[in-house]
Structures are given as structure tokens and as C-alpha cells.
Amino acid sequence: MPGVSSSARRTAKAASLVAVLASAALLATGTGPMASAAPEPADGGAANGPMNGAFASAAERFDVPRDVLAAVGYGETHFDGHRGKPSQANGYGVMHLVSNPARHTLEQAAELTGEPVAKLRRDTGANIHGGAAVLRAYADRLGLDADERDDVDAWYPALTEYSGAKGATARLYADTVYSFLKKGIKAETPGGERIAVTARTVDPHKTGAPKAGAGTQSEDYPDAKWVPADGNNFASGRAESLNKIVVHVTQGSYAGSISWFQNPEAQVSAHYVVRSSDGEVTQMVRDADTAYHARSANASSLGIEHEGYVDDPTWFTDAMYRSSAALTRHLADAHGIPKDREHIVGHSEVPGNDHTDPGPNWDWDKYMALVKG
């Protein structure tokens, strides 16, 4: 923290590690599933349990602030490793270690930690250590010294690197992490373990980070930002008239999904992406063009991606529902699409698709009531 000596910070860090030593030792064995969370300490902390132990031991091993690691994990996955299943961008685990044609942080983590790729995909402790190792590698490349590594605010450029994105999207990723550090985090893992990050004042050091670029607004929906998808991921024009709106879930983070649709290797896209925390909307394909999002319905539909994962209802916030419903209402009115469940559908309801989104946790009754005003 700013204003505290390096030695004092290291002493505090060592003290916090003692509180989780037992669980960290269990993680070091790399065997067995995550244990049940221990009872929360009487002082209201959340220092026990395997994931807290992994964050603490990874922070100590790679000299990355524990709360930076936790904020990255929360922003990527809400602390849910999804049992080793990949995200839309082929990212794995709590720290979303990626293996796709454009990024190989999963393989990088394996080289840095000595852990096999298969373990990094499925083992939460190994995955968190892998994410910390990759972040430390970026910090070293940027020239952060020991004192700077102890300063939470110094990690902004490394976080833009970790995003795998460029320009404004990379800054969006880092800004999201710092918003969690500023507001604090109180969350629970699928196994019931409590993870906390204490709110603080932040002033990230943005020197050396990618330039944000001009903030362009959408021409189709004035409340949305405009960040175009790569030309390989959509087709100009339409072969059919618009008659439906398709609701999707990203299976990944907001910034990560925007970055993926900008990747020419993805060959997928959506017209709009909606953020979980505050309902922010980014448009990536013009309404008049054909996004690659729903196979048989591509030419006749508009696609809206919602940040999150199908099996985790914590992503589907009131802000997201209200923002998305306002967008859907606007699109339906602008293009003459009836505001009913025959024309506003889930990805899983489109013929010829094998996806399950938005899934059973999506509240269609609430959403349609909001769409109809």
C-alpha cells in the first residue's frame, strides 16, 4: 500500500500467510477435490479454506498482491472454475488461463510453474498459482521492482497485458479489476468458501498502458459504446429480413468477450454485449450486418450477449436485466419485431443449435416484463 515501507508490507504479507498455512499446505499436495470451507473466523474475516489459501500462497510465491489476484479471479469467473470446462475463448479455471490461436497463457503458466496443463485446467490451487506466475512475468517484462510489486496501484499495465486485448478493451479490463479493488468484494465460491477483498482508495499507475483511443458511441443504439468486431467474424448486409432477437450468455467476462470478437480467429460475434455489474452495453456489429451468433438464425436475427456463465446466477444482476431489456425494447421498436417469446428467444431455442444459454437461471418472466415496459 502507498505510504507503507516495503519491509512493513512484507511483514503484513507473511502474517496473513500464517493464518492460511494449513490450507495452503493441503493445496501443495495437488490431490483431491476442494475441501469444504472452514467456518469463518470470529473477527468476520475469510482467511480459511483452500481458495483463500491458494491466493495467499500464490501471492507469496510470485510476489503479486493477494487482492489483485482475487480481483482478477472474481472479474474473470466469480471464483468458479467450472470443473475444468472451457470458456467461449477456451480459457480455464478461476484465473481464466487461455489456450487459443491468439493467446497461450495456459501453456505459459505450465512453463512458469512446472505444473502440467491438465492440472492447471482443473485444479483450482494450481490455476491460481498459474495466473499469478503469468502476472509476475508481465510485471518483470515491464520492469516492476520489489517495492512496486508490493503496490497495488502499480499493476495496471500488467493487468492490461493479462487481458490479452488491445487499446481501449485492455484498459476496460484493468479498469474493471480496479473497480473491484475500490468497491471491495464479498463473494462465495460454489463450495461455500467466503472470499473477501477490503475496499480501498485506488489510484492506478496508467503510464505505459495502452492508449484508450477515442470513445465512439453506437449509431444504432445511442446508449452503447461502439467497438467493432473483426471483419472475419461477421458478414456485411443481410440475406433475410429481421424477425427475432436472440439472448446469449458469454461464457466469459465482458472485456474478454469483446476481445474475442475482435480476434480474427474467433469466427463468432454478436451485435451487442452487456456487462453484469452495471449493464454497460457495447455494440460490435451493426444492426444491418450479420453477426455469427446463432447458426440458422444469423441472417434473420440480432444477437445480445450477456456477461457471465449459464450455471451461475450471480452474473444475472438487476442492472443487467434492465439494461438489456431497454436495448431489446429499442431494437424491437426500431426493426418492427414483436415483443413476445416467439420473437425474443434464447440461443438454445433456435433450430440447429446445440447451446444451452441463457439456461435455467435466466428469469424470462422478469426480462419480458421489463421489455414490455
pLDDT digits (tens, 9 = 90+) for 101-111: 989 999 999 99
Question: Does 153 lie in the same domain as 76?
Answer: yes
Question: How many structural domains is the chain composed of?
Answer: 2
Residues annotated as catalytic are 305
Spell out the residues 6+ positions from residue 355 whose beta carbon is closer than 8 angstroms to its own.
248, 347, 348
Q: Are residues 173 and 307 in the same domain?
A: no
Q: How many CB atoms lie within 10 A of CB 15?
A: 9
In this prediction, residue 209 carries a pLDDT of: 77
Give mean pLDDT, residues 241-264. Answer: 96
What is the predicted pLDDT for the residue at 208?
A: 73
- pLDDT value, residue 212: 63
Interval 25-51 mean pLDDT? 44
Burial of 83 (0-12, 13-18, 19+ CB in 10 A): exposed
pLDDT-wise least confident of 56-70, 137-151, 196-210: 196-210
Q: What CATH number corresponds to the domain at position 153? A: 1.10.530
The residue range of the domain holding 178 is 6-197
Instruction: Report yes or no on 202 lying in a domain.
Output: no
Pairing of strands 272-274, 91-92: unpaired
CATH number, domain with residue 275: 3.40.80.10
Q: Which of 177-191, 208-222, 343-357 has the lowest mean pLDDT?
A: 208-222
More confident residue, 180 or 4: 180
Residue corresponding to grid cell 480474427: 264
Residue 103 vs residues 106, 229, 256, 260, 266: alpha-carbon distances, Å: 8, 17, 12, 10, 12
8's CB contacts (< 8 A; 6+ apart) are none
Q: Are residues 236 and 171 in the same domain?
A: no
pLDDT value for 37? 33
Residue 29 resides in a domain? yes
Residue 16 located in a structural domain: yes
244 and 323 share one domain: yes
- 234 domain-assigned: yes
Are 253 and 112 found together in one domain? no
* Residue closest to 153 by CA, chosen among 194, 129, 181: 181
Is the pLDDT at 356 greater than 70? The verdict is yes
The tens digit of pLDDT for each residue in 299-334 reads: 999 999 999 999 999 999 999 999 999 999 999 999
In the chain, the largest separation of any two C-alpha atoms, in whole Å, equals: 66
| Whether residue 236 sits in one domain with residue 184 | no
| Whether the predicted pLDDT of 289 surpasses 70 | yes
Task: Provide the pairing of β-strand 272-274 with 194-197.
Answer: unpaired
| Residue 300: inside a domain | yes
Q: Report yes or no on 217 lying in a domain.
A: no
Q: In the listed set 145, 177, 197, which residue is the last one of a domain according to the structure?
A: 197
Do 144 and 255 belong together in one domain? no
Whether residue 45 is found in the same domain as residue 166 = yes
User: Residue 220 falls within a domain, yes or no?
Assistant: no
Whether residue 175 is found in the same domain as residue 247: no
- Length reported for the chain: 373
What number is the average pLDDT over the span 115-125?
98
In this structure, the answer to whether residues 193 and 230 fall within a common structural domain is no
The answer to whether residues 293 and 168 belong to one domain is no
Residue 201 pLDDT exceeds 70: yes
Q: In this structure, are 311 and 185 located in the same domain? A: no
Residue 213 included in any domain: no
